[in-house]
Chains A and B, each alone.
Chain A
């Protein structure tokens, strides 16, 4: 599903003294199957942007189209849109609703009246995909799970309607390093195998560089940079201004390029590429 934003503006609490412009004339297209990282400091409009894709908020100006759906308040079939667009909130505890894990994961399918047997096989499949044991966990209360597990439940719940677009709002916040890598590789697998469009909101530049195909930086509701990961080094100033902190790898590359005989090219963004590049460098200098 193609996502297109055309000149979109949105105000929080519009018409009220606390009115605040969250999105300011945003225009951008996301083709099907792209992995887009959306970055920016707190209050830059990342979440509003993502919520609009799911029809949770509606543009005050401009037009948003997701596949064949227009995101306007009067649109009747938005619940179909929402089954095509999965959403995992920043705090999984905000979206966990069921009395037990099974109920929670299957909640999104309730209005589609699936047969019980079909439903349980779907839930089992989803739980296995996100790495939860069906037998062990399905009857437990989702509120008694750990953060990492709750996030997995939320992800399974978002995936059960077989969405074509998945939005993740800082899914790795407050996870431990292992949990973070597990979750990210799961998302990567989804993207690669199912070709789902991923809209990934994050504060962490290293995650965006390692996984995304495109990085969109928002600053005060405007798109201040829209680039491939390899374009990041050239636009560090824009990123700093938007409140994004440099990664140790970028710091390393910048320093290394000042003194190394052979420059590390800008497209080296993944850790493994960097390692290969340095090894290559060593070998070259030995041959000489």
Chain B
């Protein structure tokens, strides 16, 4: 399942860094992972988190060390570490840089490294906390492709974002405001009525903005369009029909 949410406090709950009281989220967490509160180590092994600021999670002296760090921590055998290192470094084009210090990398590259480090652990759930915010749009697109590949392989993806154009690909959107769930649903449900979204300080994606402006001017027939492609079709249909 790929979930997108807009939040800062929700992100830490699933790995048990922050424990919440008797909230449904706690139940969700335990159900999701099938383990109890005392198993924080187990939880962290299964849930990877990519922080917003990659500087916070880079620890190694070299890029290779940095990725290996988490694997050593969870007791992966040296042979297996080597294997996984090769795979993720290849995937993220980090191989040529493997002996460099993480701090010589650009912000975008650092973020790639942070993601590589998390994926090397083969987590069941990966949380991306605005992981695309420091990437160029092109690298961000690559990141989304990777997320959807991971998702196809059965990994749960929780993407924390305020980049509205990215939401089309997810299965479920949770909008948080003041620590509470304000809205929840499929993208089509969320984009159907944007007034709640705006109240939460979010700006709908381009196609939805245009749709809203047009429906406000009385062109109700394009009401169902959410993506740019749907918008084109609907506009053409109604412009040609009349």
Q: List residues of A whose CB falls within 8 A of some B CB.
A: 41-42, 173-174, 176-178, 181, 203-206, 243-245, 247-249, 251-252, 255-256, 259-261, 271, 274-275, 278-279, 281-282, 285-286
Contacts and interface: CB of A to CB of B under 8 A. Distances in A.
Contacts of B134: 173-174
B214 A256 contact: no
B206 A243 contact: no
Interface string B75-114: 0000000000000000000000000000000101000000
A282 B141 contact: no
A282 B133 CA distance: 38
B203 A181 contact: yes
Contact of B108 (A42, A248, A274, A275): A42
A42 B106 contact: yes
Secondary structure of the A contact surface, majority rule: helix
B137 interface: yes
A256 B136 contact: no
A278 B214 contact: yes
Given A181-B203, A282-B219, A255 B242 contact: no
Contacts of A245: 137-138, 141
Nearest to B141: A245
A244 B240 contact: no
Interface stretch (B14-22, B35-43, B148-156, B230-238): B230-238
Contacts of A173: 133-134
A206 to B, nearest CB: 8
B137 A285 contact: no
Interface in B138-183: 138, 141, 162, 164-165
Contacts of B34: none
Given A252-B231, A261-B239, 5 more contacts: A42-B106, A42-B108, A260-B235, A275-B217, A281-B235
A259 B236 contact: yes
A41 B136 contact: yes
27 contacts: A41-B136, A42-B108, A42-B136, A174-B133, A176-B162, A176-B201, A177-B203, A248-B165, A248-B205, A249-B206, A252-B206, A252-B207, A252-B210, A255-B228, A255-B229, A256-B236, A260-B235, A261-B239, A261-B240, A271-B209, A275-B217, A281-B235, A281-B239, A282-B219, A285-B240, A285-B242, A286-B242
B239 A260 contact: yes
Contact of B214 (A41, A204, A251, A275): A275
Contact of B206 (A174, A248, A255, A261): A248
Contacts of A243: 136, 138
A206 B205 CA distance: 12
Contacts of B213: 275
Interface of B: 52, 106, 108, 130, 133-134, 136-138, 141, 162, 164-165, 201-203, 205-207, 209-210, 213-214, 217, 219, 228-229, 231-232, 235-236, 238-240, 242
Contacts, number: 84
Given A173-B133, A282-B239, A178 B203 contact: yes
Contacts of A247: 206
A17 to B, nearest CB: 15
A271 B203 contact: no
Contacts of B214: 275, 278-279
A247 B206 CA distance: 9
A243 B142 CA distance: 12
B145 to A, nearest CB: 13
Contacts of A177: 162, 164, 201-203
Nearest to A251: B228
Nearest to A279: B217
B2 to A, nearest CB: 20
A252 B228 contact: yes
A278 to B, nearest CB: 6
